[in-house]
Amino acid sequence: MVIVMKPSATTDTIQALVHQLEQDHPEVRVSITKGVGCSILGLVGDTSRIDQDKLIIHKDVDRVMRVQEPYKKANRKFHPHDSAVRVGDAVIGGGGFTVIAGPCSVESREQIIDVAQSVKASGASLLRGGAFKPRTSPYAFQGMGTPGLDLLLEAKAETGLPIVTELMSPKYCELFEEKVDMVQIGARNMQNFDLLKEVGQMSKPILLKRGLANTYEEWIMSAEYIMAAGNENVILCERGVRTFETYTRNTLDLSAIPAIRRMSHLPIVVDPSHAAGMYWMVEPLAMAAVAVGADGLMVEVHNDPACALCDGQQSLTPEKFRRLMDKVTPLVELMGKTLT
């Protein structure tokens, strides 16, 4: 349920209403969003016992709406303005455009520092790199593990770029809490509900990738799990979905950006690398993502793609990434945004 307060409602009268609602309905939790000109109360839990007619006649209440969707905290009705999430010095959403770049996997000190320096010089504001990798084959490179996190920290110290890396198991939550700036939940774990509940208790922002074959609603419900557990700093990442087409690794679903924008206030970025699976398709898909209104990009960059231990075929060289940034930047400005 959403209660839109009148512009004349004061902090005291709003607090009094919240207090009364919480007292009369202990099964309901109330959050307050201060908008431009008015405040909105978002009620989560079983609101069936709340008498809507009684609320409507309250002198400070403008409107009362029942929210049909199963997602509440992530719902734009609860929070009409775009959310912006701070990650170190970077901000994702809220009118800027943020580029996250780096290799699929951290492979060595030289590799990660070299890539971090070059992507920073080209305008990226976050460094990505997997230390724990979700691989289809148990015989494939599984990532460097904890030493890979330490190399990411060295690259951060060298460049100042905040780091984002994938968490696959709740057993590493504490380690990630200590070491990383943003936690990535990969496509394969988008509906690992125990993991979502755990990261919901972390203080770090969560980059939630869309599952391989999940609907927008399922994806937002996964964000809701994280938010319901207490962590409201969630960023969505469209990375392509499974379709009948096999030419590309996945099919980039550009409709997701305007659709999610309407459904939710959460920022949304696009990963053209895992969608395409081919380096030469990354730039046109990145341009399309900017044009359709994404809040940012996540791009795989490797200093020697031919020798990469993972996803070399879709990785840009630092030089190709620089050219991508040169093309993307004027389009970002045309969209009325600035590169953050």
Interface contacts to ligand PEP, rule CB under 6 A: 104, 130, 134, 166, 186-188, 209, 239, 274
Q: How far is the CB of 140 from ligand PEP (least distance, A)?
A: 12
Helix (H, G, I), strand (E, B), or coil: what is residue 31? strand
Look at residues 256, 265, 259, 252 and name the one whose alpha carbon lies nearest to residue 299: 252
Cα 6 to Cα 16, 41, 73, 240, 246: the distances in Å are: 14, 11, 21, 42, 53
| Partner whose footprint covers residue 134, from ligand PEP, Mn ion, none (CB < 5 to 8 Å by kind) | ligand PEP
For CA atoms 245, 248, 250, 255, the dihedral sign is negative
Least distance from C-beta 118 to Mn ion, angstroms?
Answer: 18
End-to-end CA distance of the chain: 35
239 touches, from ligand PEP, Mn ion, none (C-beta below 5 to 8 Å by class)? ligand PEP
Q: Tell me the residue number closest to Mn ion, measured at CB.
A: 104
Could you tell me the smallest distance in angstroms from the CB atom of residue 3 to Mn ion? 44
104 near Mn ion, judged by CB under 5 A:
yes
Q: Please answer whether residues 143 and 105 qualify as being in contact, where contact means their C-beta atoms are separated by less than 8 angstroms.
A: yes
Comparing CB distances to ligand PEP, the nearer of 17 and 116 is 116
- CB nearer to ligand PEP: pick between 188 and 320: 188
CB 102 within 8 A of CB 115: yes
Out of Mn ion, ligand PEP, none, what residue 187 binds, judged by CB under 5 to 8 A for its kind, is ligand PEP
Contact pattern for Mn ion over residues 307 through 326, marking x by CB under 5 A: ----x---------------
Nearest Cα to Cα of residue 292 among 236, 237, 331? 331
Q: How far is the CB of 225 from Mn ion (least distance, A)?
A: 24
How near is the Cβ of 76 to ligand PEP at its closest, in Å? 24
Nearer to ligand PEP by C-beta: 93 or 240?
240
Judged by beta carbon, residue 73 or residue 239, the one nearer ligand PEP is: 239
If the CB atoms of residues 2 and 180 are measured against ligand PEP, the closer one turns out to be: 180
CA 81 to chain CA mean position, Å: 16
| Beta carbon of residue 181, minimum distance to ligand PEP (angstroms, whole number) | 16
Q: How far is CA 185 from the centre of its chain?
A: 9
User: Residue 5 or residue 167: which is nearer to ligand PEP going by CB?
Assistant: 167
H/E stretch holding 86: strand 85-87
Measured in degrees and rounded to the nearest 5, phi and psi for residue 97 equal -135, 125
